[in-house]
């Protein structure tokens, strides 16, 4: 989870987001209030935890489908070809 300062480095308007290898999830726009919690960001994480867990499940499912497609392609390549007609 990271934050970007909107409006410049000293701005108190922050965009909180999570980066994944193939997507970025925007969580919320807020102030520095999440840095006052211990551990830092714990309230922010608690608020978005269920949403992030669902996204993790979606990513896992997408990767399983992709792996199955790749495996099917490999199986097709390995399948013995019938001998050519003589």
Q: What tens digit of pLDDT does each residue of 37-82 get? A: 888 888 888 888 989 999 999 999 999 999 999 999 998 888 887 8
pTM reported for the whole predicted model: 0.67
Answer whether residue 86 is part of any domain: no
In a domain, 46, yes or no: yes
User: Residue 65: inside a domain, yes or no?
Assistant: yes
Nearest residue to 34 via CA among 15, 57, 62: 15
Contact (Cβ atoms closer than 8 angstroms) between residue 57 and residue 63:
no
Q: Residue 48 is part of which domain span?
A: 2-78
Please tell me the predicted confidence (pLDDT) of residue 34: 82
Tell me, what's the pLDDT at 37? 82
Q: Is residue 85 pLDDT above 80, yes or no? A: no
Whether 69 is in a domain gets the answer: yes
- How many domains is the chain built from? 1
The reported pLDDT for the residue numbered 86 is: 56
Neighbouring C-alpha atoms within 13 Å toward the C-beta of 8? 2
* pLDDT score for 84: 81
The Cα–Cα gap between 19 and 27 comes to 11
């Amino acid at each position: 989870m990271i934050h970007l300062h909107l409006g410049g480095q000293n701005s108190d308007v922050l965009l909180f987001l999570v980066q994944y290898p193939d997507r970025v999830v925007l969580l919320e726009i807020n102030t520095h209030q999440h840095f006052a919690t211990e551990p830092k960001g714990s309230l922010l994480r608690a608020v978005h935890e269920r949403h992030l867990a669902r996204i993790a499940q979606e990513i896992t499912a997408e990767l399983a489908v992709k792996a199955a497609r790749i495996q099917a392609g490999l199986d097709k390549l390995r399948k013995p070809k019938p001998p050519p007609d003589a």
